[in-house]
Amino acid sequence: MLWGKDRAFIFGLLIGLLFPLLASTSINLYQYVIGKFAWAFGGASLGVVFNAIFQDIISKRKNIAEISGYRYSVGSISGTCGAMMGGALSDYGTLRWPYYGVLVLYVVILLLFMIKVHPYLIKKPITASRNKRKIRTNFMGTIKHIFNNPYLFIRIFTEGVTQSHWAMEPILFPLALYSLTHKDISTGFVFGMMGAIAMFMLPLAGRFVDKTSPIRGLLVTYIFYVVSLFLLAFANAFLIFLIGGLLLSIGKTFNGVSIAKIETTHGALAAFITGTLLKFFSFNEVFLIFACYTFIGFALGFIFFKLKER
Amino acid sequence: MAHRVLRRDTKVIIYLILISGLGVMAGSVCYGEKIEHLFSVFL
């Protein structure tokens, strides 16, 4: 690679700084679109590029899944704090204030990275990533590598399914909870509880995956997902829904750390699919569709994994 | 020596976890407000 991941991270985040500046001062849609374009650079830096740097550094450790567990755990607290901070900022100031919050956070991240992480990356060339790079020199090589590696192959199935959950939840949960309780606060309560349980479970799930295997972790995920989604599909009371949500959250923690050990690629059709499905079905029926989809997707993944492993 | 390298690794991992957390926070700060802001500006 010509550029180096650290420089790609800094460059992306520097362009990302334009997002809050342009979006908050938008006077027309074009300016907002350019702002969103800059945001994509910041997002890519903090997402894909950051993941690559993080994976390079933890790849030499034995407790990869546990470290990932801590990372996601911190992420889950930060996500909640961020959302609350955004709400508070816009209540206290104007709707522009949350963007200034993003600006401050981006600057802090940049400084932290340049002062504390960048010197370490320069001093210590990472060899693990070079090996990976050799495998992925071209597109067809990457595809071949994924199909030949049983771990990456099972990931195609399970991750397609679990990524769909990320987009399904924010649409379906509030809708279902409101229809059950007729109170908006119930959504906040369920999401809060799910976040709290994930925060504590993530390091434990990580330790489990490190001690056994990511495939064992995915098996636990599978059990929790299927049980919880069927529970959600037939939930007719708030308590059953809450239990279903908590079990789903535990499933997610096992999935997150297992996948962190296997690696990453994404799919984003699920929000559109959920929206479309809701036009024709009730929320219970959509949950049922996701339950069946999860059940079949994971099962196929495991079958193919076993066949490829032989 | 190996121990010191490991400790340096741990430090950087902690900073990276912190950066990741701040990144998630930055992503969620204007999560709900973005649409509201858009409406207020363009409608």
* DSSP track, A169-215: HHHHHHHHHHHHHS-THHHHHHHHHHHHHHHHHHHHHHHHHHHS-HH
Which pLDDT does position A134 carry in this prediction?
Answer: 46
Q: Do B29 and A86 touch (CB under 8 A)?
A: yes
Residues of B in contact with A199 (CB under 8 A): none
Q: Are A177 and A241 in contact (CB under 8 A)?
A: yes
A103 closest CA partner among A3, A217, A14: A14
> Quick one: how far is CA A18 from the chain centroid?
24
Please give the pLDDT value at position A306. 75
State whether A206 and A62 are in the same domain.
no
Query: What is the reported pLDDT for A105?
Result: 92
CB contact under 8 A, B26 and A81: no
Q: Judge if A111 and A195 occupy the same domain.
A: no
Contact status of B4 with chain A (Cβ, < 8 Å) = no
Of A23, A54, A102, the CB nearest to B26: A102
Whether A83 sits inside 8 A of B29 (CB atoms) is yes
Counted across chains A and B, CB pairs separated by less than 8 A come out at: 123
Does residue B38 belong to the interface with chain A, where contact is any CB pair within 8 Å? yes
Helical segments of B1-43, H only: 2-29, 33-42
Q: Which domain holds residue A89?
A: 5-135
B25 min Cα distance to partner chain A (Å): 4
Please give the residue of chain B at the shortest CA–CA distance from A98.
B30
pLDDT of residue A167: 66
What residue ranges of chain B have pLDDT lower than 50?
A: none
CATH of the domain at A265: 1.20.1250.20
pLDDT on residue A135: 44
Looking at the structure, tell me whether residues A290 and A185 fall in a common domain: yes
- Nearest C-alpha in A relative to B12: A117
Out of A43, A74, A83, the one facing B28 most closely (by C-beta) is A83
Q: What SS3 class is residue A223?
A: helix
| Per-residue pLDDT at A281 | 61
- pTM for the whole thing? 0.67
Of B8, B25, B41, the CB nearest to A81: B25
Q: Which of A109, A135, A161 is the last residue of a domain?
A: A135
Which of A129, A152, A85 lies closest to A301, judged by CA? A152
Alpha carbon of B40: minimum distance to chain A alpha carbons (Å)? 9
User: Which of A77, A108, A135 is at the close of a domain?
Assistant: A135
pLDDT in tens, chain A (310 residues): 445 778 888 888 898 888 888 888 877 778 888 888 888 888 888 877 888 788 888 877 778 888 888 888 888 788 878 877 887 887 788 878 888 888 999 999 999 999 988 888 877 655 444 444 444 445 566 566 666 667 666 666 676 677 667 667 777 777 777 777 777 677 777 877 888 888 888 888 988 988 888 888 888 988 998 898 888 888 888 888 889 889 998 998 898 888 777 753 333 344 445 455 555 566 666 667 667 767 777 777 777 777 777 6
Same structural domain, A131 and A149 = no
Co-location of A119 and A223 in the same domain: no
Q: Which two three-digit tokens encode residue A261?
A: 């050990």
Question: Is the Cβ of B19 closer than 8 Å to some Cβ of chain A?
Answer: yes
A118 plus A266 within the same structural domain: no
> A131 with A148, same domain?
no
User: Which of B23, B36, B37 lies closest to A46 in CB terms?
Assistant: B23
Contacts with A78 from chain B: Cβ below 8 Å: 21-22, 24-25, 28
The answer on A188 and A171 residing in a single domain is: yes
pLDDT value at residue A42: 84
Domain shared by A115 and A183, yes or no: no
Of A135, A164, A179, which closes a domain? A135
Q: Are residues A167 and A295 in the same domain?
A: yes
Of B24, B31, B37, the CB nearest to A78: B24
In a mutational test of the B interface, the residue from A10, A51, A55, A90 whose CB has the highest number of chain B CBs within 10 Å is A90
Q: How many domains does chain A have?
A: 2
Separation between Cα atoms, residue A92 and residue A63, nearest integer Å: 43
Q: Are residues A205 and A75 in the same domain?
A: no
In this complex, which of B9, B24, B29 lies closest to A75 when CB atoms are compared?
B24
Residue of B nearest to A39 (CA): B27
Are A13 and A52 part of one and the same domain? Answer: yes
ipTM above 0.95 for this complex: no
So what's the pLDDT on residue A29? 78
Report the pLDDT value the prediction gives residue A28, as an integer from 0 to 100.
Answer: 79
